[in-house]
Amino acid sequence: MNKIKGRVWVFDDNVDTDQILPGYAMAEDFSGLGRYAMAGSKEPDFAARVNPGDIIAAGKNFGCGSSREQAPVALQAAGVSLIIAESFARIFRRNAINIGLPVLVADLRQYVQTGDGIEVDLVQGIVKINDREVVAQALSANVLATINAGGLINRVRQEIGVSNG
C-alpha cells in the first residue's frame, strides 16, 4: 500500500480526540467505533458520509487531547485510508501507525477543499492535488514497514514467524 487515492475531508487546527471519538462512544466495542468517527467535530455526520479510502487533511496538532487509542481506530473503521496534517499530537501519530493507519506531515489546506480527489505516494511523500504536487514528509522505512504489515502487532508476528490468523 504505497499509493493511496481518495476524496479529501478538510479539518482545522487542534482537532482533539474528543472530536474524533466523543467520550460517550468509549463504551462501544472496537468493531462499532467507526460509526462515531468525527461525531464531535464540525462534520458530525462524517461517519455516515465518509467513503472507504477517503483522506483527512488537517492543520496543526491533529489528535491532541487525551491519549485514547480508540480515536485512530474509529477513523480507520469508518474507512479513512490516510491522514495528512501540518502536525500531529505525538501519541495520536504513534497510535495510528501502530494500527496501520498512515499519517503524513504536510499542510494541504490551502490547496484542497472537502470533496477534492488526491493521490499520495507514501514512499516518496508526494501528494498530487488538482494538477499540483506537494511534498510531504516521507515516511521512514520503519514506519512504512509497519503500515504495510497492517500495524505493529502484525509486523512483529511476521518478523517472528507467527501466523496473523
Percent of residues, the chain, with pLDDT higher than 70: 98
**pLDDT of res. 1:** 67
Give the chain's mean pLDDT. 93
Residue 92, C-beta contacts closer than 8 angstroms, at least 6 positions apart: 17, 62, 63, 64, 67, 71, 72
Q: Does 102 reside within a domain?
A: yes
Q: Does 165 reside within a domain?
A: no
pLDDT, tens digit, for every residue of 12-52?
999 999 999 998 898 888 889 999 999 999 999 999 999 99
Average pLDDT over residues 94-108: 96
Beta 55-58 vs 3-10: how paired, if at all?
parallel
Predicted model pTM: 0.93
As for how many domains the chain has, the answer is 1
Task: Retrieve residue 151's grid coordinates.
Answer: 500495524
pLDDT, tens digit, for every residue of 148-164?
999 999 999 988 988 76
Q: Does 147 reside within a domain?
A: yes
Q: Does 59 reside within a domain?
A: yes
**pLDDT of res. 60:** 98
**pLDDT of res. 13:** 97
The 10 Å Cβ neighbour count of residue 53 is 13
Assign residue 95 a region (left: φ > 0; alpha: ψ between -120 and 50; beta: otherwise): alpha
Residue 120, C-beta contacts closer than 8 angstroms, at least 6 positions apart: 3, 4, 5, 55, 82, 84, 104, 126, 127, 128, 136
Give the CA distances from residue 123 to residues 88, 128, 147, in Å, rounded to whole numbers and listed in that order.
19, 14, 11
Q: Does 15 reside within a domain?
A: yes
Q: Does 65 reside within a domain?
A: yes
The residue range of the domain holding 52 is 3-160
**pLDDT of res. 80:** 98
**pLDDT of res. 165:** 61
Amino acid sitting at position 79: G
Cα distance between residue 69 and residue 99, in whole Å: 9
Average pLDDT over residues 101-122: 95
Q: Does 105 reside within a domain?
A: yes
Q: Does 56 reside within a domain?
A: yes
**pLDDT of res. 27:** 84
**pLDDT of res. 90:** 95
**C-beta separation of 118 from 129 below 8 A:** yes
CATH of the domain at 44: 3.20.19.10
